[in-house]
Amino acid sequence: MNEMDPDLTVRVGPLRLKNPVLAASGTFGYGREFEPLFDPALLGGIVVKGLSLEPRAGNPPPRIVETPCGMLNAIGLANIGVKRFLEEKLPWLQRLDTTVVVNIYGHSVEEYGEVAGALRGVEGIDALEVNISCPNVKQGGMAFCTDPMMSARVTETVLERSDKPVIVKLSPNVTDIREPALAVEKAGAHALSLINTITGMVVDVEARRPALANVKGGLSGPAIRPVAVRMVYEVVEAVRIPVIGVGGIATAKDALEFLITGARAVEVGTAGFADPLATLKILDGLSGFCRSRGIDRVEDLIGTLETDRRF
Amino acid sequence: MFECEPEITAHREVAPGTYLMTLREASIAKQARPGQFVMLRAFSGMDPLLRRPFSICGRIGEDAFGVLYRVVGRGTAVLAKQRTGDRIQVLGPLGNGFQTGPASGSFILAGGGVGVAPLFFLAQTLLGQGDRTPAFLAGFSGKQEVLSPGDVLQLDLEAEIATEDGTLGHAGPVTDLLEPHLAVCAEQGNKTTVCACGPPAMLERVAALARAAGASCQVSLESAMACGLGACLGCTVHAAPQEGIPYLRVCREGPVFPAEAVDWSRAGAGWS
């Protein structure tokens, strides 16, 4: 390492990442899709596409529509299921020299437990990220994340069945995100990631129909970044476990907003669609920022936000 | 696959609201196969955000390729404002192109509107292979919209034209032109491949006519896309039952599909 190069390694609870930039779930496939363009091992980690016990087809098209500074998607958590993931995708991920996080979801508390159990003891998976934004089929379809008690139960179940660090991904579609954050922390989660997409809707005025076949979708991209930063700010104030910032990060400056606010790492998603090399550019920018300001370790920036009223 | 920022070496309006952009990037021009596409981004900043997918419409000279597009929204409006000498972000070539194979047999290319774009590239490639001159059928709304392989790409190939309003060529849909060609091929017992690109309704009809005539048929489909790499799963179309999977990604399994892989009863839903 060059003397001038800042130390980009960060600790996120039990995880030690080579740098604070991860690829977000659902935007990086199973890791290989971007391989023709760059070595995914350059990233601090990758979070693979949300995995359920059984394969899932996803929603009918149209599934995406562009919005001002963002996009709305209703992919419907399409994925190949645990069995095929382990057979087809894992061997390549096991050889990948960076942190591999597997995003999991279920439609019942039991299903979350079963997915976590199926990944127990599997080498090459460094942590689980639990998506709690799904509808709870057994409880009238209300999303787990909207009920702190259900969020906690999912977390406990995954922790019981898993031997890996558990990151719970929080949804912004709640009144006060500190409530699920605290409940999940109390349940034993090792870390939190936030935010997931914000529920939205777009109407095609010519057709007088929703732009998406699913009617509603999840809003992502730079449009949601200030919401994400605000929520990270609220959560890092409230909990003691580490937080990973997610939501509209497209540049190094965006990533810095989250790190300074107190996130220990960031996930980049939609920006990687607009520019597949966005993550690498963010890494370069973080190094450059640290270097130009004489900061030796990126960890020294984390949580350095000043909120004294001086205006 | 390359991620690059080539220079626009030519850019002209070839029909009202339809442009031909020439991009100098030897790596893409050399690697690209007919039917493959590129993702273009000509905007800085975050709005519009996503790259737009466009078929490659042909090789231009030694080291450049063309993109033929129609201005339909914000992304293409920005694209149309780019000038010769500007640079834009390009990712490609992407996806699976037309299967031309070494086999003998005749090719019929059928395009609707700006859907002729990938067929120009295919025609150019077939013409470069000597005795494989395809029949080129193209349908447009009217005379003003006509895009011919000779005018746009200087290909030595006469197109049969159909216009909906009857202002040029046959008055009616392009599929009217296809039927007699298929009949001749069926009569002669020739192995025939139909390659088509255009609106979903046209493609559905082309696929049905080809099937009835015993010709193989490949279609190039269009979809909104976020990544073009197979990661976002945003560009799916309904697969035919025998595919064994419910959806196909236009970017990875396509954009060119065997016509029988697509569930035509649900193709094109929602997008125009």
Residue B269 above 80 pLDDT?
A: no
Tell whether A254 is covered by a domain.
yes
ipTM passes above 0.90: yes
Tell whether A120 is covered by a domain.
yes
**Tens-digit pLDDT profile for residues B55-99:** 999 999 999 999 999 999 999 999 999 999 999 999 999 999 999
Residue of A nearest to B73 (CA): A66
CB A186 within 8 A of CB A152: yes
List the structure tokens of B236: 């799916």
Tell whether A67 is covered by a domain.
no
CB A300 within 8 A of CB A255: no
> What sign does the dihedral B206-B208-B213-B214 (CA atoms) show?
positive
DSSP, residue by residue, B162-219 = EETTSSSSEES-THHHHHHHHHHHHHHT--EEEEEES-HHHHHHHHHHHHHHT-EEEE
Domains of chain B by start residue, with CATH? 2-94 (2.40.30.10), 106-266 (3.40.50.80)
In this prediction, residue B138 has a pLDDT band, given cuts at 50, 70 and 90, of very high
Question: Which of B75, B233, B245 faces A75 most closely, judged by CB atoms?
Answer: B233
List the structure tokens of B202: 């046209």
CATH number at residue A164: 3.20.20.70
Q: What is the mean pLDDT of chain B?
A: 94
Cβ contacts of B253 on chain A, cutoff 8 Å: none
Question: Which of B41, B46, B75 faces A69 most closely, judged by CB atoms?
Answer: B46
pLDDT at A142 (0 to 100): 81
pLDDT at B93 (0 to 100): 98
Residues B132, A7: Cα–Cα separation, whole Å: 60
Q: How is residue B120 annotated by DSSP? A: H
**Tens-digit pLDDT profile for residues B213-263:** 999 999 999 999 999 999 999 999 999 999 999 999 999 999 999 999 999
Question: What's the length of chain B?
Answer: 272
Q: How far apart are the first and last CA of chain B?
A: 28
List the structure tokens of B28: 């893409």
**Tens-digit pLDDT profile for residues B30-42:** 999 999 999 999 9
Q: Which residues does B contribute to its contact with A (CB < 8 Å)? A: 1, 3, 41, 46-51, 74-75, 89, 91, 223-227, 229-238, 245-247, 266, 269-271
Q: How is residue A79 annotated by DSSP? A: B
Distance between A79 CA and the closest CA of chain B, angstroms: 10
Tell whether A293 is covered by a domain.
yes
Tell whether A141 is covered by a domain.
yes
pLDDT at A308 (0 to 100): 81
Q: Is A145 a catalytic residue?
A: no
Distance between B95 CA and the closest CA of chain A, angstroms: 12
Tell whether A311 is covered by a domain.
no
Count the alpha carbons within 13 Å of B32 in the hemisphere toward its beta carbon. Answer: 35
Q: How is residue A294 annotated by DSSP? A: T
Tell whether A193 is covered by a domain.
yes
Tally the domains of chain A: 1
Question: What's the length of chain A?
Answer: 311
Q: Which of A47, A224, A273 to mutate to test the interface with B (most CBs of B within 10 A)?
A: A273
Tell whether A211 is covered by a domain.
no
CA B39 to chain centroid, in Å, comes to 14
Residue of B nearest to A38 (CA): B3
Identify the domain containing residue A296 by its residue range.
Answer: 10-60+75-202+219-301
Cβ contacts of A272 on chain B, cutoff 8 Å: 227, 231
Distance between A221 CA and the closest CA of chain B, angstroms: 8
CB contact under 8 A, A66 and B48: yes
CB contact under 8 A, A61 and B271: yes
Please classify residue B117 by burial: count the beta carbons closer than 10 Å to its beta carbon, then call 0-12 exposed, 13-18 middle and 19+ buried. Answer: buried
Residue of B nearest to A48 (CA): B231
pLDDT at A2 (0 to 100): 52
| pLDDT, mean of residues B172-183 | 96
Question: Which of A37, A58, A212 faces B233 most closely, judged by CB atoms?
Answer: A58
Q: What is the pLDDT along chain A (311 residues), one digit of tens a residue?
A: 455 789 999 999 999 999 999 999 999 999 999 999 999 999 999 999 999 999 999 999 999 999 999 999 999 999 999 999 999 999 999 999 999 999 999 999 999 999 999 999 999 999 999 999 987 777 777 889 999 999 999 999 999 999 999 999 999 999 999 999 999 999 999 999 999 999 999 999 999 999 999 999 999 999 999 999 999 999 999 999 999 999 999 999 999 999 999 999 999 999 999 999 999 999 999 999 999 999 999 999 999 999 887 66
Which of A65, A35, A29, A34 has its CA nearest to residue A203? A65
CB contact under 8 A, B236 and A27: no
